[in-house]
Chains A and B, each alone.
Chain A
Amino acid sequence: MANKKPVIAPSKPAIHWLMVTLTIIAIPHFFYQPIWVALIFLFMMSWRLMHSWRGWPLPADKRLLKGLHSVSAVLTILLVFYSYGITIGRDAGVALLTTMAAFKIVEVKSLRDYYLSCFMGFFLVITHFFFNQTIPIVILMLVNVILLTSCLITVNETDSSAKSRVKQASIMVLQATPLMLLLFVLFPRISGPIWGLPNDAMDIPDSLPDSMTLGELPPRNSATTGMSDDITIGNISQLIQSDAIAFRVKFDNNRFPDRQNLYWRGPVLWHTDGKRWLPLQDNQKQSDAVSKIRVSGEALSYSMTLEPHDRRWLFALDFPTAYPATMQTRLSGDGELNSQETVKQRIQYRLSSNTEYLFNPLNDPYLRYGLNLPEDHHPRSQRLARQLIETSESNEAYIDAVLAYFRQQNFSYSLTPPALRGDTIDQFLFETRQGFCEHYAASFTILMRAGGIPARIVTGYQGGEINPVDQVLTVRQRDAHAWTEVWLPNKGWLRIDPTAAVSSNRVDFGMGDLLPAERRSPRAIANNDRLVEMWQSAKNNWDALNSAWDMWVVSYGPEKQLELLKKLGMQQPDWQKMIRWLAIGIAMVFIWIAWTTLRLKSHSTDRVQRAYLKFCSTLARHGIERQPNEGPEAFAIRAQQAFPAYQQQISTISTLYMHVRYRGDASENDFIQSVKQFKPQHSA
C-alpha cells in the first residue's frame, strides 16, 4: 500500500536467520562453482556477522566502504564475464546470482532490501535443479522454502520464539503442498524452450565418445571446456570409472533377452589411423544406404529412458526392427539409430528388437571401408594374420583361429592396462597383452581386415542390471563396451565379441562382477555377507524409487502429462479439460484451507482444556453460555446462580479446573472424571 512509512530496519534475528538460510541455499553451488564464488560469499557473510557482533561498519555507514563495496561488485561482474565469457549461461548466471546475493546481504537495511534478498534466495533454490534433480535435492528445496518463509515471518514478527516461527512456516509449506501437487499434475505443460538455451543448460556427466583412441589421450585443454568436439576423444576405460546411468529399459511383460544378447548398439566406427577410430565421414555416407534386416524369432518390445548425452544417436538392443513412433529417427546404413535432434534432455522411446537377425546378408554399400588398413602400420599383426589365414580353410575358420589365438595366448582382461606407445595394436598383441574391450575390438578388427574380411567396430553398452524391485534394467556408463562386426557373404554382419573370448565373465555376468568390491558395496561392510545382502536390497529399492522418480517426476512434461491423465481416466486430455479440473481442484483446496484456518474449535492436545471446553458447551446447551471475556471463576458464579440444581457440581468442576490450571495442586484425572460425570438432566 502507498503508506509513507518510515524505513523499518529488519531486526537482528531476522538478518541472522536470513544469513543462515542463504548460506544453506548457496552451499550446494560451491561444489560446481569456482572457489572465488564461495570466498566472496563467505566474506560478505562474515562481514555482516562482525557488524552484528562487534559493530563493524557496513557500506552504508562509511562512504569509503560504500565505494569499495560498489567497486568490488562491479569487479565481480567483470570476473564472471572473464571466467565464463560474455554470454550469461547457466553457470555464469548462478555465479552472478550467488555473489550478488552475498553483496546484498551487507546492504540490507530496510524491509525492501530484506524482501529482495529473500526473493534472490528463492531464485537460488530453483537454480539447484539445473545441476541436480534427485530426491534429496527436492527435500532440500522443501527445507529451503520453509527457511525462507520463516525469514519472511521473522521480519514481520519477532515476538514469538524462533521455534514457533519455523513451525508456523512448516505448517504453511505443508498446507501449500496439495496445491503444488495439483498444479504439478494438471497445469498444462508447454514444451520448451521458449527462447534459446545456453550451451551449458545441462550437465552431461559422461557419455560414450564418438570415436575411440588406444593409448595416450591428447591432453585435455581446460580452457575450451565444452566448446570443442576434441575433448570427447576419450577412451572407454574412462567411462568405466563412472556409475552414472546411461539409460533404463523396461521390457514389456518383463521378457528379457539372454545375457549374451544384451548388446546395446551405438555408434559404428570404421576408419583408423592406427590409433584413433572414427565413424564414417559425412561425405562417405550414402543417403540411399539402408539396412536390410531379416529377422527370425520373436521380437522384444521395450521402452527406453535415455539420459541426455548431447548427441544424436539412440541406443537400441541389437538389432532394432521397429523404431520410435514418438520422435523423428533414422536408421543409417551401418545400423546406427539417430534422432533428428540432439538429446538434450531425458527422453523416452519405445522400440522393438530381434536378437536373431541377418544384417545386409547379400551386399553392403560400405564394404570397402571395412577393409581399409592404415598404411605402414601394424606390420607384426599383419604377419600374424597371414600366418593364420594360411592355415585356415575358410573365413569362419580364420575367425575361430584368431579367437583361439586370443584365448590360448596369455591375454588377460584388465581395467588398468599398461599404457601403449608407438604402434598400439602391435604392442598390445605381442607385448602387453592386457586390455579390455576396446583393445580387443580394435586389434581383432585389424586382424580381420588384414585377413581380407570386412570388419568394423560397434560401440555401445553391454549388459546392465535388472532391479528385482521394479524389473527395470539399468545400464550404466561403466557398461560401455566395444565389439566387432565382420561381414560374411550370405550371413551379413556378424557380431563377434573378442573380449568374451578372453573374459567370458564380462559378458556372462556383466561389468559389476569385474569391478573391485568397494565399488559394489561400502568397504566397511564388505566382509559381512548379510550386511552386503541387506545393503544390496536397500540399494535396489532406492534405485527403483529413483527410476520411478526420474520417469514420472523429473521427466514430467507435455507427453507424460497426457499419458498420466489418460491413466487417471481422463478421455482425450487437452488443456481446456486440464484447466477445468484444475479449477475444481483449486476450489476444493481453497475450501479445505479456509476450513482448517477458520474453524474455531480448539484442536489443542491439552486434555484439561478440552475437558473444560466440553463442560462449557454442556452448560451452553442448557442456556448458560460463557462470554469470551469471562474468566472461569466469574462464569462459575454466574452458572451456579442460573443453574441452582447443579450448584455443587459446577462449583467442584470449576474449582478443580482452577486448581489444576493455576495452582497445579489437583489431579488432572479427577477433573476430567468430574466433567465426564456432569450430565444435567433438565434445563436450568
Chain B
Amino acid sequence: MWARQYWQRWRQQQRYRVYILPSRYGLSYSMLILVMLLGAINYNNSLGHLLCFLLVGVGHVAMHHSYRNVRQLDFQLGQAEPVFCEQNIPLPLNLTNQSPRPIRQLEIAYLPSGHRSAWWPLKQFSRYVAVYKASAIAAEQTSQHLIPIPTTRRGWLELGRLRLSSIYPIGLLFSWFFIEIKQRVLVYPKPVGNKSLPLASALEESGVLQHQHGLDDFAGFHRYREGDARQHIAWKALARDGVLRTKQFSSPAGQSLMLQWEAVADLPDTEARLSQLCQWILTADAAGMQYGLSMPNQTIAVSSGEQHRHQCLQSLALYGE
C-alpha cells in the first residue's frame, strides 16, 4: 500500500519529463573507454580492465548526477509584459530547488513556436537559442529569473517553449526538460525614426512660438520605464544612487497633440511609419503631453497616462493584422 502511495506522490512531483542523452564529449568518452578496453584485452592487462570499468562507473554516476541536477526543480512562470520589437521579453521564471544540494549550470534555451518537427524531435535542437544561464540555485531555495526572449516582429507573439538543460557535472551527458509557455505577448513596433514631433502646427495655431522647442525645459525625474528615450536617461543620477531615472521635460500645460498617419505618409513602408509613430508616442508621453492617435483604421482620442499609452501602442502593434 505504501508503495502505491509513494508512487503516486512521486508521480505528482513529476511535473515534467526529463530527457538525457550523451553529449558529443560523452560519445567521445565512450569511444575512449572502448579503445582502452581493447588495449587492456590485447595486453591481458587486468588493471587496465579495472580502469576501464572505473570510467564506465564514473560515466554511469555522471548520468545520475546530471539527471538529478535538473530533476528536482519546481518552476512557476510569470506573466510576460509587452515590449518593443527587437527588445527581449523579460519572462519571469521562478525556479525552486527542492533538493538539499545546489542545482548548477542550468542553461535555458528558447524555441519560438511553430518550429516543431514531429518526426525527428532532435532535429529542432539546433533551432533552440540559448538565452539564459543560471550558474547555481542554492539548496531548498527559490530564485526569480527574467528569461530574455528575443522578438523579431510586432504584433501578438505566441511564446514557444523553453528548454532547461544542464551538462553538469562533467559535461558528458546532456539532460533537459521542456516548459511550454502557453502565453501570448504583445510586441510593440520598434521606436525609431528621425522626424521630430509634429508640434509646429499645433503651436502655431496657439501662437506660442517660443515654446517650439518646449521639450528643452527640464521639469524633473520619473523612474525609468521600458521605452523611454535613451538620451533622456539621467546618467549622472544613476551614477550617484544606482536608480535609473528619466528626465522629464515640460511642455506648455494643456498642450495637446494629434499624431496622424498622414504625417508619416512620406516614409517608405508601413513598418517605418509605425516605428516613427511609436517613437512620437513615447516622446510625447515622456514629455507629459496630451496626445491622440489617428490611424486609417482607428482613432484614439487625445489623452494621457499609462493606459492610454498602451492603447495607442497596441493599435500600432496590431495595425494590419
Q: Which residues of A contact B (CB under 8 A)?
A: 1-5, 111, 115, 119, 122-123, 125-126, 129-130, 133, 137-138, 141-142, 145, 149, 152-153, 155-157, 159-160, 168, 172-173, 175-181, 183-184, 187, 189-195, 197, 201, 345, 553-557, 589-590, 593-594, 597-598, 600-604, 628-629
Which residues of the other chain, A, contact B102 by a CB distance below 8 angstroms?
Answer: 160
Residue of A nearest to B58 (CB): A176
Q: Are A628's CB and B53's CB within 8 A?
A: no
Q: Are B55's CB and A159's CB within 8 A?
A: no
Within 8 Å by CB of A600, from B40, B61, B98, B105, lies B98
Which residues of the other chain, B, contact A111 by a CB distance below 8 angstroms?
Answer: 171
Within 8 Å by CB of A557, from B46, B98, B100, B140, lies B46
Task: Give Cα A172 to B140, complex, Å.
Answer: 22
Question: Is B48 part of the binding interface, using a Cβ–Cβ cutoff of 8 Å?
Answer: yes
Q: Are A197's CB and B42's CB within 8 A?
A: yes
Which residues of the other chain, B, contact A142 by a CB distance below 8 angstroms?
Answer: 54
Q: Are A149's CB and B42's CB within 8 A?
A: no
Task: Give Cα A553 to B94, complex, Å.
Answer: 52
Q: From residue A562, how far is it (CB to closest CB) to chain B in Å? A: 15
Which residues of the other chain, A, contact B52 by a CB distance below 8 angstroms?
Answer: 126
Q: Are B39's CB and A126's CB within 8 A?
A: yes
Q: Are A598's CB and B43's CB within 8 A?
A: no
Q: Are B45's CB and A129's CB within 8 A?
A: yes
Q: Are B171's CB and A119's CB within 8 A?
A: no
Q: Are A179's CB and B98's CB within 8 A?
A: no
Q: Say which size band chain B's interface belongs to.
A: 35 or more
Within 8 Å by CB of B42, from A184, A194, A556, lies A194
Within 8 A of A (CB), among B11-69: 21, 23-25, 28-29, 32, 36, 38-58, 60-62, 64-65, 67-68
Q: Are B167's CB and A156's CB within 8 A?
A: yes
Q: Are A557's CB and B58's CB within 8 A?
A: no
Question: Is B72 part of the binding interface, using a Cβ–Cβ cutoff of 8 Å?
Answer: yes
Which residues of the other chain, A, contact B130 by a CB distance below 8 angstroms?
Answer: 3, 5
Q: Are A604's CB and B64's CB within 8 A?
A: no
Within 8 Å by CB of B38, from A156, A194, A554, A600, lies A194
Q: Are B44's CB and A345's CB within 8 A?
A: yes
Q: Are B169's CB and A157's CB within 8 A?
A: yes
Question: Is B170 part of the binding interface, using a Cβ–Cβ cutoff of 8 Å?
Answer: yes
Which residues of the other chain, A, contact B32 by a CB distance below 8 angstroms?
Answer: 119, 122-123
**11 interchain pairs (CB within 8 A)?**
A1-B125, A141-B54, A149-B170, A173-B54, A175-B61, A183-B49, A187-B53, A555-B46, A589-B60, A594-B64, A629-B94
Q: Are B58's CB and A145's CB within 8 A?
A: yes
Q: Are B171's CB and A177's CB within 8 A?
A: no
Most B-side CB within 10 Å, residue of A137, A152, A556, A601:
A152
Besides A172-B58, A173-B58, 18 new A-B residue pairs in contact (Cβ under 8 A), listed by A number: A1-B21, A1-B126, A123-B36, A126-B36, A126-B52, A138-B47, A138-B50, A145-B51, A152-B170, A173-B54, A180-B54, A180-B56, A192-B43, A553-B50, A557-B44, A593-B64, A598-B72, A600-B72
Which residues of the other chain, B, contact A137 by a CB distance below 8 angstroms?
Answer: 47
Which residues of the other chain, A, contact B28 by a CB distance below 8 angstroms?
Answer: 115, 119
Which residues of the other chain, A, contact B24 by a CB distance below 8 angstroms?
Answer: 1
Task: Give Cα A579 to B52, complex, Å.
Answer: 17
Q: Are A115's CB and B64's CB within 8 A?
A: no
Contact A126 to B58, CB < 8 A, known contacts A149-B170, A155-B171: no
Q: From residue A528, how far is it (CB to closest CB) to chain B in Å? A: 37
Q: Are A4's CB and B126's CB within 8 A?
A: yes
Contact A193 to B43, CB < 8 A, known contacts A176-B60, A597-B65: yes
Question: Is B104 part of the binding interface, using a Cβ–Cβ cutoff of 8 Å?
Answer: yes
Q: From residue A138, how far is it (CB to closest CB) to chain B in Å? A: 6
Q: Are A187's CB and B49's CB within 8 A?
A: yes
Q: Are A190's CB and B41's CB within 8 A?
A: yes
Residue of B nearest to A344 (CB): B44
Q: Are A553's CB and B47's CB within 8 A?
A: yes
Task: Give Cα A180 to B23, complex, Å.
Answer: 22
Q: Are A126's CB and B48's CB within 8 A?
A: yes
Which residues of the other chain, B, contact A187 by a CB distance below 8 angstroms?
Answer: 49, 53
Within 8 Å by CB of A157, from B55, B94, B104, lies B104
